[in-house]
Homo-oligomer: A and B are copies of this chain.
């Protein structure tokens, strides 16, 4: 069998980079497209054989890529806050690019599969834990709404045009390279001697290491079909924000201020999120990284990367 080619959209992003690396390790020829002035040395380190800095459109896809056997569509909005400030821009990044990728596959590369890293945000407020993938999707944030629209689009192409697809709803993904969200903010605070956080600390999240997530997207590639299987990407384990921050803080021992929470719930912030990962496990995948070790590694990476900040 000849070597397979994967196209990773948004390959310059946090998840995209790790996807590129995992597929390269698996023997894929990895092409990347998306935004960001990225030096060749760097993208080569992440496993890319080629990088195209461009919007993800039908035209750029036709122009710049070889015929891939799979597209992992990592491009898209990456922030709830951004989606509220810039709803149309977030819509364009998430839904429009998905339309372009699907149309490229339908019209140019019908044998190509599409794997989509979606988000647990599509679930919205949930009543029962763990969250099963067949649960009704009722997103609250613009970010989640756009992710759901992209999912609907993908499933419709599978049904109508026979596009081979798979969707993975990622929960709280973390790991080296993540420069936003709770862990990033927490490291900055701990380093500055600040230990005050919003929320109650009792919020439960399901943390998944980004390398586990990338391996799950590889498994999704092997399981993509016209049925558009949809699974959760989590560890299956719920950890409170207090537990995570208490552990992370131990990497900053020079400061011993007490961990404090405002006690005020954030509006629209779900209180408990834990993934049912039965579907992912049926693909032969399992999460490998332990969260405490992952958080230690993250704190170490943060310290090294923030030296120049």
Q: Are B145 and A152 in contact (CB under 8 A)?
A: yes
Q: Are A99 and B88 in contact (CB under 8 A)?
A: yes
Chain A 150-172, CB-CB to B under 8 Å as 1, else 0, gives: 00110011011100000000000
Complex Cα distance A106/B85, Å? 11
State whether A87 and B160 are in contact (beta carbons under 8 Å apart), knowing that A95-B95, A136-B136 are contacts in the complex: yes
Across-interface contacts of A161 in B (CB, < 8 A): 87
Complex Cα distance A95/B88, Å? 11
Complex Cα distance A147/B161, Å? 18
Check A244 for interface membership: any CB of B closer than 8 A.
no
Check A142 for interface membership: any CB of B closer than 8 A.
yes
Across-interface contacts of A84 in B (CB, < 8 A): 160
Complex Cα distance A157/B91, Å? 12
Partner of A142, one of B91, B95, B156: B156
Interface residue tally for chain A (C-beta within 8 Å) = 25
State whether A145 and B153 are in contact (beta carbons under 8 Å apart), knowing that A95-B95, A103-B88, A160-B84 are contacts in the complex: yes
Complex Cα distance A226/B145, Å? 16
Chain A 119-156, CB-CB to B under 8 Å as 1, else 0, gives: 00000000000000000100111100100110011001
Q: Are B91 and A99 in contact (CB under 8 A)?
A: yes
Q: Is the interface of A mostly helix, strand, loop or mixed?
A: helix
State whether A160 and B136 are in contact (beta carbons under 8 Å apart), knowing that A91-B99, A103-B87, A148-B152 are contacts in the complex: no
Question: In the complex, which residue of chain B has the Cβ closest to the Cβ of A91?
Answer: B99
Complex Cα distance A99/B102, Å? 20
Complex Cα distance A58/B91, Å? 15
State whether A140 and B152 are in contact (beta carbons under 8 Å apart), knowing that A87-B103, A88-B99, A91-B99 are contacts in the complex: no
Give chain B nearest CB distance to A58 CB in angstroms.
8
Residue picked from A88, A91, A103, A156, most chain B C-beta under 10 Å: A156
Could you list 16 further interchain pairs (A-B, Cβ under 8 angstroms) beyond the known A88-B99, A145-B152? Answer: A87-B103, A87-B106, A87-B156, A87-B157, A87-B160, A87-B161, A91-B153, A95-B95, A136-B136, A141-B160, A142-B156, A142-B160, A145-B153, A148-B152, A149-B149, A149-B152
